[in-house]
Each structure stands twice: as C-alpha cells, then as structure tokens.
Structure 1
Amino acid sequence: MHPDTLHRVALSRVPGVGPILGRALYTHFGNAEAVFQASPKELKALEGVGDGLVRQIIGAQTLREAEGICRFAERHLIRIRHFSDVDYPGRFARRPGAPALFYSKGVADLNVPRSVAVIGTRKPSARGLQQTELLLSGLRDYGPTIFSGLAYGIDICAHREAMRVGLPTVGVLGSGLNQIYPSSHRNTAHQMLENGGLLTTYPHFTGPEREHFPARNRLVALLSDVVIVIESEEKGGSIITANMALELGKPVGAFPGRFDDPKSAGCNRLIRRVNGHLIEGASDVAAILGWQSSKVGNRQGSLFTQLSEPEQLIVSEIAEAEELALDELGRKLSWPSGQLASRLLSMECKGLIKVLPGHRYRLAY
C-alpha cells in the first residue's frame, strides 16, 4: 500500500470534497497528507474551500474512518487506486465524473486495449437473454473486457456468459465490496475475481443506496469503448448509461425489437437517434470500433501446437504464401507426391485446409 494511501482515503471521505476538489487539493499540496497538515489560511487559498470545509479537514475525523478502511482492504486484498497512480485507468483520465480514488478487487487489467459495456433491463425477455449470449459468444473472437453493473437481468447474464466464453468481466458496483448487491449474485461476483474483477468508489461497508447508481452507471460508460444496450424500456438505468456515454463521445449501440414491445422501446429510440448504432451481433460492434478479429491468430496458435510435425510444415508454408498450388507445395517440402496428397486429404478432412480450383490450397482459419 502506498505511504500516502491512508490520507488519500481520508481526503476522499471528507464531506464536500468531491473528485474535482479532491484532485485540486492533492495537486496543490503535493500529496494527501500535506492537505491535512495545511493551515486554515493555506486551505482557504484554494477556490471552493470555505470555513466549513476547513473545519472538516482540520478536525481529521475521516482519518480514523480511513484507518478501518485501509485495514479491511489489506485483509481482503482490495486495491485502493488513486488518480496519481501509474496504473490509474487511462479511460478515466481528464474525464468529467472520473473518481479521484476507487476500490477494486480481482485480476482485471483496467487499461486493456478493448472494452465493451453490455447492459439492459433487469427483467429481460427470453429473446433478450439469447441476444446477450450470442453477442458475448461472438465477442470472444475480439477479446474485449466486458463491463456491466452486476444487476439482475441483462447485466448478470453478460457477466456469466463472458466467464463461460473466457472473456474477462468486471462488475461496477453501487455499493462497497463487502456489500455485494444483489446478494443473490455474490457467488458470481466471487467467480469473476478469477479472470476479471469488481470495482467501486465506495468503502467496503457502504450499502446499495438509490443515489449511488447514477454514478455507478457513469463509471461503466467511462470504462468502455462502446456501450451496447441489449433490451431496455424507454426509461431506466440502461438508457441513462447510454446517454452518459453519448455525452462522453462514446459510441452507443442497441439491439432492435418490435415497435410494440415495451422492453425494446428504449433500444428502438436509441437507434432512431443519429448517433445510435443498430446492433445485430458482435461483428457490428467490431465495425463501429474498427476492430480486427483475433480469431485467426488465436486459433492458428492453439491449433499449431496440436498438429503433427508434417502438418505443421504444411501449415507454415501455406500461411506464408496465403495459398499454394499442389506442385509448388511439393517443391517447397521435397516430399513424394503420393505422401503429400495423402497428408493434404487428411488435413482437409480435419478442417485445417481448403481446396481451391486448380489444386490450390489455403488455410481454413
């Protein structure tokens, strides 16, 4: 834990010190401990700091609370992250509403190259759940980290499906890490720690209050390259998150639904807007962001180690040239024509190569 962490936490807990003022105080004094050691005159030199706030800081009441927060964090492997840390998420940098300090747990890299928020109604239809599963299955080829809010419905389906297909997934909470909400998702939250994680701006003891969730939704939007709404009524948390993403200049996509289906009203409205993208599958998400599928490279790498040595030689030659005629391949390998033809037939049956007109071959993946 950083030597200044105790005072960083204490500063974040001072009533009236939000992310903007917290950053200003930290930057002005050089570290959080210096804020608590400053004189009233020095504190009031900053814009936005009045007598009431000075008394809060000088009284140092939050230092005692921060001691308990830090002890709990150490015992439970919770990371306390600050905007001055080198691994502070780049997607938070210089963004309005980004936290000066937050708590995380798990193994997730919050500076991954690709990230997608998958959100939606808490009461999805069977079609909405199926769309979530198909989207996540398709996104596996692009390797993003999946962000959502651990809520009922689409959120928890997205987290679980991401784990099933092997994608990292991060739950952004509107409560503390010792107050998982809803409690019925606690087991899933613990499983997510193994290849993803949990994130919150609230100390471990904080319960799920209604006013916490708009801020939680903003973090989901901030951490994602694109926000995808699977299914949503015309009003609700998913639409709030989508609008926040649009305000941040992030692309937003939505799955269309029947015009008379209330569960699709929010999605249809997003699509009708100029900057709402119609989504039917993972390839649409990739097209919005200009992503290339990692399927070829991943599959080729995993399959290559499973091939026999002769098959590896054939794959290497074809991959280098993209496609090869039978006689060209024979010259490169210096194999008897019968042996080569037999090996190629076997590989075609395994789905490793495809035969083109003119006895030419290319890889099937």
Structure 2
Amino acid sequence: MTDIELLNTLALLCVEGVGDIVAKKLIHHCGSVQNIFLASRSQLLAIDGVGDVLYKKLQDKAVFRRAEAEMKFIKDNNINVQYYGDADYPERLKHCIDGPVLLFSSGAINLHAQKTISIVGTRQMTSYGADFTRKLLADLAPLNPVIVSGFAYGVDIHAHTLAMEHNLQTIGVLAHGLNQIYPKAHQKYVAQMKENGGFITEFWSTTKPDKENFVRRNRIVAGLTEATIIIESADKGGSLITATIANDYNRDVFAVPGRITDKYSQGCNKLIKTQKANLLTSAEDLKYILNWELEDKKQQPVQKQLFITLEADEQQVYDYLQKNGKTLMDIIALQCGMPIFKLSGLLLTMELKGVIRPLPGKMFEAI
C-alpha cells in the first residue's frame, strides 16, 4: 500500500469505536480508507451501525497526528506492513471476520507457507510436555512446517527454540508493539528468531503488554495457522481461549492427553472429552488428520494414473475433485447431481482404483 493509504488506515484505526470489524465495514461501504474521511455526514450515517457519535469522532484531525507518529516509527525501523486487502496479507487470516486490518512484522517471514501450525500451552510446562513437544517437532521436521506461537514462557518459547533447532521457520505473535520484547528474558532469542522467521503483531509501538492484549493476540495465533496444538493446559488458561477461537474459525485443534490427576493436563483432557480437540499422541495423528505427507514420488507415481480407465460417472467426480480440491461427500453429491447411495459406492470403487483418497470428516480428494 502507498504511504497515503497507510497514513489514512492508521488514522482510521485511531478513531475511538473503530475496531477491525467496523473499519472493514466502513472501507467496504466507502470503497477506500481515504473516502471514509471525505464522505459526507449523510453518506456515513447511511452505514449500518454508524451514528452521530462515530461520525463526529471521524472528524477529529488529532487521529492523523497519532498516525503520523506511528508511521515515522514504521519507516525508521523498516517494519513490514500488511493490509488486509492486499495480496501479501496472510490468506488464512483473510477469512477471519475479526482479523486485523493491519499487521506489522519484522524478520524473514513467509506468511504463505502451506503447512503452518500453532503450538501453545501453559507457562508452567512440565517435563512431560517438554519431551512430547521435542519428539513432535523432530518427527514433523522433514515436512518443513512453520511453527507459530506467542513467545511467552513455557510451551511457547520451547516450541520456538525447538523449531530453530530444526531450522524451521517460526513466528512469534506479540501482544505489544515491535519496539519492545516481552518477557525481557527472551531478548536473547530475538536475533535467531528473525533469521528463522520473525515477529508479527497488530499492536502499535505505543502499546504495552497489558493483560487484555494477550487475549486479542490469541486470535492471530489461531487465525494464521491450519491447526492449533495444545501441549499442556490447566482447566483454565490462555491456550484454551486460543483453542476456542480456532474452533470458531473452523480450524483443526489438537490436544495432548495426560493423566487425570495432572493439573496441566486437565485442560487438554477436557478439550478431548468435549470433542473440541483431536487426540494427539504422535506426529502421525497430526499428519493423518491434516493429510500431510512426505513428498515421495515412489509412493505415488503420477504416471500410473494415465493408464486407469474411468466410467463416465467416475470421470465426472474425478474432474470435480481435481478442480475443487478436497470436498465433503455431501457437496460432491450436490454438485455432481448424484444421490448419496450411488456416490458412496462410486467413491469406494475410485479409491480402489487409486485415483482418489478419503480424508477425515467424510472428505475426499483426487490423487
């Protein structure tokens, strides 16, 4: 985005009462951020949820002075900025209604990596949780996933450091601006983090690491990733909030089970018991549910498909799956105009022919 667009967007976000959802509504209605500040009173009041109070606040020029100060910090410190309407904004976060309008980042971050997971948990991690995380990342390392966490004590920093040990990209989502590091004890990891990934936040340089910001931060941790893993958690805690948000975003959630007497397994056990998380006992569970596979051409030779003959109905289903990717059985039936009983037998035949594969949740994809 241009400097003018950035300045106007920062100014909009300074307006009291304008959060991410309201800001997106205003931008959508007016066509651009600049147009919001140029719009007449009648144009703004025509927008659902905008009244005289918000209209008057949008006329306050003080928001531009605050925006100019933050823009100077961004420029002076070479901060990367991603706007929710731009191509470089994280694709998964675009689909979250309350995703940040602006993201600020530093380091060498690839926000478009396919395999991206968040690993979170208690700050009082036990040796059980530490050992499990170490084994998990060692087994996942050949798949080169991106590891996202909150850079906090306990599970978070353990996940970050293990990712760096395996030379995996790792991203710390901060609950404050990029002008500081919290906790200060983790300052020693900053340089290596930026080499192996970096930091991302929605917060400005004027923002302190207040308690409520950590809850807001959790939605970015969940929204950036394909799945969220809870290593250990007490019956209440921030990682359970992250799990709830991930479920609300329709993302996969995994929890590591533990003994019913262990304090920091109670939260995970509860998530599994209430079917709010998949049971995670090894990397194989994760790879199965997410359909992650090592790239081994010997296991799935593409040339073999060229010699398979499909019936007309099979070809119709195969063509649909090739075009649309993994799809629910009900959707396939609807789009291909087939009754479920017929499609069910057809899918089994196609699976035996080796041209499709079943996925968890009654989903299928072409090979």
Partner AA of 2:153 in structure 1: Y
Answer with 129-138 or 163-172: which moved more. 129-138
Post-superposition offset of 1:190: 3.2
Q: 1: CA distance between counterparts of 2:63 and 2:160?
A: 35
The match for 2:79 is: 78
Cα drift, residue 127 of structure 1: 1.8
Q: Deviations over 1:248-279 (max 9, x none)?
A: 21111111111111111111112222342221
How far apart, in 1, do the equivalents of 2:281 and 2:199 lie? 28
The match for 1:221 is 222
Q: Structure 1 residues 242 and 320 mapped into 2: Cα distance closer, same or farther (>3 Å)?
A: closer
Does structure 2 conserve the Cα–Cα contact (< 8 Å) formed by 1:108 and 1:196? yes
Deviations 1:76-118 (A, max 9, x none): 1211211111111110123222111221112211121111111
Hey, what does 1:109 align to over in structure 2?
Answer: 110
What residue in structure 1 maps to residue 330 of structure 2? none
2:213 corresponds to 1:212? yes
**2:207 partner amino acid:** T
Q: Is the 8 A contact 1:256 1:264 kept in 2?
A: yes
Corresponding position of 1:40: 41
Q: Which amino acid aligns with 1:286?
A: K
Distance in 2, matches of 1:180 and 1:37, equals 38
2:81 is paired with a residue of what secondary structure? strand
Using the alignment, how far apart are the partners of 1:5 and 1:14 within structure 2? Answer: 15
* Matched AA of 1:2: T
User: Residue 232 of structure 1: CA displacement?
Assistant: 0.9
**What is the rounded CA distance, in whole Å, between the counterparts of 1:206 and 1:171 in structure 2?**
17
d(CA) in 1 for partners of 2:43, 2:302: 67
Aligned residues: 300
* DSSP-derived class of the 2:200 partner: strand
Structure 1 CA distance for aligned equivalents of residues 149 and 209 of structure 2:
16
Give the whole-Å Cα distance in 1 for the aligned partners of 2:37 and 2:185. Answer: 41
Preserved contact between residue 177 and residue 205 of structure 1 (Cα < 8 Å): no
How far apart, in 2, do the equivalents of 1:96 and 1:199 lie? 19
**SS of residue in 1 equivalent to 2:195:** coil
1:179·1:206 contact (CA, 8 Å) conserved in 2? no
1:36-55: CA deviation from partner (whole Å, max 9, x where unpaired): 22232322221222222122
* Pair member with larger Rg: 1
Gaps of 5+ in 1: 301-318, 322-365
1:56 aligns with: 57
| Other-structure match for 1:231 | 232
In structure 1, what is the equivalent of residue 315 of structure 2? none
Give runs of aligned pairs for residues 1-365 of structure 1, distance below 5 A.
2-3=2-3, 4-294=5-295
SS in 1 for 2:82: strand
1:358 is aligned to none
Residues 1-10 or 226-235, more deviating = 1-10
Question: Do 1:162 and 1:169's aligned partners in 2 also have CA atoms closer than 8 Å?
Answer: yes
Aligned-pair distance for 1:320?
A: 12
Root mean square deviation of aligned Cα: 2.0
Specify whether residues 259 and 252 from structure 1 end up closer, same or farther in structure 2 by C-alpha distance, changes over 3 A only: same
Measured in 1, the distance between the counterparts of 2:242 and 2:248 equals: 10
Q: Which runs of 5+ in 2 are unaligned?
A: 304-367
Matches of 1:64 and 1:293, distance apart in 2: 52
Cα separation, partners in 2 of 1:320 and 1:79, compared to 1, 3 Å: closer
Q: Which amino acid aligns with 1:252?
A: V
Contact 1:25 1:35 (C-alpha < 8 Å) held by counterparts: yes
Looking at structure 1, the residues matched to 229 and 95 of structure 2 have their Cα atoms a distance apart, in angstroms, of 23
Distance of 2:244 and 2:31 partners within structure 1: 35
Residue identity opposite 1:126 in structure 2: S
Give the Cα–Cα distance (whole angstroms) in 2 for the partners of residues 28 and 21 of structure 1.
11
Distance 1:212 1:186 in 2: 20
Percent identity over the alignment? Answer: 39
Q: Are 1:14 and 1:57, in contact at CA under 8 Å, matched by a contact in 2?
A: yes
Secondary structure of 2:232's partner? Answer: coil
- Aligned counterparts of 1:32 and 1:235: Cα–Cα separation in 2: 40
Distance 1:281 1:140 in 2: 13
Match of 2:319 in 1: none
Which range moved further: 24-33 or 175-184? 24-33
